Structure 1
Amino acid sequence: MRTFTLAAVAAVLLAGCGGPTADDGGNDDKKDIVVGVIADLTGATADVGKPYNEGMLAYVDNLNAKGGVDGHKIKALSEDYQYKVPTAEEKYKKFVAEGAVAIQGWGTGDSEALRSKVKDDELPFMSASYAEVLTDPKQSPYNFVVAPTYSDQLRVAIDHIAAQDPAAQLAVLHHDSPFGTAPLADAEKWIKDKGYRLGFKAYPMKAGATDHVGILQQAKAQGAKYVVIQNVSSPAAVVAKDIAAQKLDMKIVCLNWCADELFIKIAGPAAEGHLMVQPFAPPGITKPGHQAVRDYCQSKGIDLDAKGLHFVQGWYTMHAMVKGIEKTLADGKDLTGPNIRAGLETMPAVDTGGVIAPIKFSADSHRGATASNVYRVSGGKFTEVTAAVAPKA
């Protein structure tokens, strides 16, 4: 267990570990709080990973400029792992050695691969993966998921489709990885448990494909009217263009990693009319919680609308972790992994000003939120269909 303390005696024992300590005179010397950040800046999901990472680091920069957490600056150690699980494991070990008290990860494959290490090292871990297994403290005691899981997002999509067309056929096109397959079994179970008459078939998407005509022809043979996409923006935009070029009667429903401005930009007119299940409100759908992000960006000459919703997503994911750290210090506890975990589990719901549903963890569940928004692309912009809708009870 890694221990960082505010007590004078422990400060002597733990000098050099990198966490907050106090000197022998009892005056808090406000040492930095180290957080490791595993980022995809150049790998397969860099199109969304880079702005997400920038949003996290912007939050830290903004926080530190205002005095940090109880006077302690956050030291974010951010490194690119290129969407390679072995590299993520190397980065994780490096961050642990450098005194990290918590970790921000990225993908599903690396988040799941690191679960046992995180458990053994007792280090709170958040990431941009919303795989359902990461929300169960019995299986993943140190993982915390701030947004609705991929399974919950797909449940929302299924509920919406079933209400519009009760006997529709669904083709689920997905990234060929643990990220892509994470919600599939849960979705099929949801259809069965709810008694829906929907058809369901999954299709893995080949990485780097210049078109997805073959898959769409299979989906057409299936009779699919809805194409749900569990992938990032660029390949999803290719699918939209292929649907338009082939004049197929299919409506896309993007889950959160392709439900963004980049999808609209790349797909162009082909994006029109398609649906997006997105837990995070984009900057173009103004919420009170966007103002702090926008103020920071304006002070730095950053165009928030160009950075898009994933920048905001990264900002508020780091915000949730910091709130757990704040709670730990406010309770007068040392910054150990178990104490930060307890802080996250007992802190009040994190209000993001409507950017995402309030984030609330407990000792029984590390699923921070269940509600997503449903948007339609209209005139090249997001239009809100339904706000903060959870899977049907």
Structure 2
Amino acid sequence: MKRNGFLLVVMGLILAACVGQRGGGGPIKVGGLFDLTGATSDVGKPYAEGVQGFVKWLNDHGGINGRKIELLYQDYAYEVPRAEQLYTQFVQEGVVAFMGWGTGDTEALRGRIAEDKIPFMSASYSHVLGNPKEAPYNFLVGTSYSHQFFIVMDWILEDWKARGGSGAPKVAFMHHPSPFGLSPWEQGGQEYAKKLGIEARAFEMPRGATDFIPQLSQIRDFGAQYVVFQTVSSPAAVALKNAKSLGMTDVTFICLNWCADENLIKLAGDAAEGTIGAFPFTPPTVDVPGMKEAREFLKAQGSSLEEKGVHYIQGWITMRVMVEGIRKTIEAGKALTGENIKASLETLTNFDTGGVTVPITFTPTDHWGSKGMRLFKVKGGKWQALTDYLYVK
């Protein structure tokens, strides 16, 4: 009888813990993998601060129907094995959703994410992660790298024609030496360029290089009129300085989103003038309603959105979208499980981010939440809007 009583007590404690996480009033555990000290920490740190900032702001304002978010996170220093270890740890600790970071680790984890049924929003916009057939529990809030590349190729073709260029333009694709760097090229980019009649070649930017003069010399010999960067701001800034020293003033340089930021201008200085950036998330130089809470939160912290930059609002909005899926699940009276949060996210239609992004839509067959972005251009040391929203054709 005593033994049976003990078992009943244990079962009751387990049930109480489950109810606290899934259906009661306890904290909601969300995992986080951030690069705070690794190869992409220059953009990883402000993104992580944006995720953390939104969670604190939300909790300070009552959480989700009175329930607070408990963000379990660590720095994985852009090391895939470490990411896999931490992911396992946080799942064992009961997270019901996850905020990730890099392409290599997110792609490595996607099979386990599907098995564990944990909705996962990464700062990687690798195209495959938006395909539910390949990654059923991954969701992209930002425009995929491939879609960014497609939009940029369309713009390049139109710009080339507007300049009166003859024949097909030549495009050099300079990329980070990682799955992240190759993602838009290998996931449809080179085929799309060929389809448009654009001659494109890929050039790797070696890790740890102090300059990219050898690669830029090859690009000049190739005769490229446009260079597209898929890297972070530090190496892109070095390349822009190198290009200026080589006199490559007739080449248009374009950054996809991870080097289109304030840090690029700070590091490259005058060499950044005229650079074009792909912005799935509106930079703080343009004030939109969706930035209001972040601005007020940072002001109270003695900082500002201008100081933190575009990657901060990127992390903030991504966490906001994940929270919306959690909120919809709770308000529907459903258990707070990964399966139910996934189903709730798949009902988001034209979710308004207040102008920070195009409206976000997910369906059971399409997890590419955003298929549009704007191009900005560096003028007078600031990112200024060059186009309205451009969309995948």
User: Is TM more than 0.5 here?
Assistant: yes
Residue equivalent to 1:109: 104
Please give the alpha-carbon distance, in whole angstroms, between the structure 1 residues aligned to 2:304 and 2:118.
34
Deviation readout 1:317-349 (Å, 9 max, x if unpaired): 000000000011111100111000001001343
Residue 51 of structure 2 aligns with an amino acid whose one-letter code is M
Structure 1 residues 145 and 21, CA gap change in structure 2 (3 angstroms): closer
Could you tell me how far 1:17 is from its partner in structure 2?
4.7
Residue equivalent to 1:93: 88
SS of structure 2 residue aligned to 1:361: coil
Please give the alpha-carbon distance, in whole angstroms, between the structure 1 residues aligned to 2:228 and 2:297.
35
Residue 190 of structure 2 aligns with an amino acid whose one-letter code is E
Counterpart contact for 1:18–1:33, Cα < 8 Å:
no
Please give the alpha-carbon distance, in whole angstroms, between the structure 2 residues aligned to 1:48 and 1:333.
36
Match of 2:45 among 47, 50, 53: 50
Please give the alpha-carbon distance, in whole angstroms, between the structure 1 residues aligned to 2:12 and 2:224.
63
Please give the alpha-carbon distance, in whole angstroms, between the structure 2 residues aligned to 1:19 and 1:143.
25
Structure 1 residues 144 and 159, CA gap change in structure 2 (3 angstroms): same
Residue equivalent to 1:351: 352
Residue 318 of structure 1 aligns with an amino acid whose one-letter code is M
Residue 354 of structure 1 aligns with an amino acid whose one-letter code is G
Counterpart contact for 2:174–2:228, Cα < 8 Å:
yes
Residue 255 of structure 1 aligns with an amino acid whose one-letter code is L
Counterpart contact for 1:11–1:21, Cα < 8 Å:
no
SS of structure 2 residue aligned to 1:183: helix
Please give the alpha-carbon distance, in whole angstroms, between the structure 2 residues aligned to 1:21 and 1:108.
30
Residue equivalent to 2:264: 263
Counterpart contact for 1:18–1:32, Cα < 8 Å:
no
Counterpart contact for 2:285–2:384, Cα < 8 Å:
no
Residue 205 of structure 1 aligns with an amino acid whose one-letter code is M
Please give the alpha-carbon distance, in whole angstroms, between the structure 2 residues aligned to 1:218 and 1:241.
16
Could you tell me how far 1:304 is from its partner in structure 2?
1.6
Give yes or no for the alignment of 1:208 onto 2:208. yes
Deviation readout 1:210-264 (Å, 9 max, x if unpaired): 1100000010111011110000000000011011111113221000000000001
Structure 1 residues 340 and 162, CA gap change in structure 2 (3 angstroms): same
Give yes or no for the alignment of 1:235 onto 2:235. yes
How does the TM-score come out when normalised to structure 2?
0.93
Please give the alpha-carbon distance, in whole angstroms, between the structure 2 residues aligned to 1:200 and 1:239.
18
Residue equivalent to 2:116: 121
Written as runs of structure 1 = structure 2, the 5 A alignment for 1:346-385 is: 346-385=347-386
Could you tell me how far 1:11 is from its partner in structure 2?
7.9
Residue equivalent to 1:146: 141
Give yes or no for the alignment of 1:16 onto 2:17. yes
Structure 1 residues 274 and 101, CA gap change in structure 2 (3 angstroms): same
Please give the alpha-carbon distance, in whole angstroms, between the structure 2 residues aligned to 1:238 and 1:44.
15
Counterpart contact for 1:327–1:347, Cα < 8 Å:
no
Counterpart contact for 1:278–1:374, Cα < 8 Å:
yes
Could you tell me how far 1:12 is from its partner in structure 2?
5.8
Residue equivalent to 1:244: 244
Residue equivalent to 1:3: none
How does the TM-score come out when normalised to structure 1?
0.93
Written as runs of structure 1 = structure 2, the 5 A alignment for 1:378-393 is: 378-391=379-392, 393=393
Residue equivalent to 2:164: none
Please give the alpha-carbon distance, in whole angstroms, between the structure 2 residues aligned to 1:301 and 1:311.
15
Q: CA RMSD in A?
A: 1.4
SS of structure 2 residue aligned to 1:224: coil
Please give the alpha-carbon distance, in whole angstroms, between the structure 2 residues aligned to 1:110 and 1:382.
31
Deviation readout 1:262-313 (Å, 9 max, x if unpaired): 0011000000011111111111111111111101111111222111000000
Residue 146 of structure 1 aligns with an amino acid whose one-letter code is V
SS of structure 1 residue aligned to 2:340: helix
SS of structure 2 residue aligned to 1:113: helix
Residue 74 of structure 2 aligns with an amino acid whose one-letter code is E
Give yes or no for the alignment of 1:40 onto 2:35. yes
Residue 165 of structure 1 aligns with an amino acid whose one-letter code is W
Written as runs of structure 1 = structure 2, the 5 A alignment for 1:306-345 is: 306-345=307-346
Please give the alpha-carbon distance, in whole angstroms, between the structure 2 residues aligned to 1:38 and 1:256.
20
Could you tell me how far 1:13 is from its partner in structure 2?
4.7
Residue 233 of structure 1 aligns with an amino acid whose one-letter code is S
Structure 1 residues 142 and 217, CA gap change in structure 2 (3 angstroms): same
Aligned pairs, how many?
375
Structure 2, unaligned runs of 5 or more: 1-10, 162-167
- Which segment drifts farther, 45-54 or 162-171? 162-171
Identical pairs, percent? 46
Could you tell me how far 1:207 is from its partner in structure 2?
1.1
Counterpart contact for 1:19–1:99, Cα < 8 Å:
no
Residue equivalent to 1:160: 155
Residue 275 of structure 1 aligns with an amino acid whose one-letter code is I
Residue 289 of structure 2 aligns with an amino acid whose one-letter code is P
Residue equivalent to 2:194: 192
Counterpart contact for 1:328–1:343, Cα < 8 Å:
yes
Counterpart contact for 1:279–1:388, Cα < 8 Å:
no
Could you tell me how far 1:19 is from its partner in structure 2?
4.7
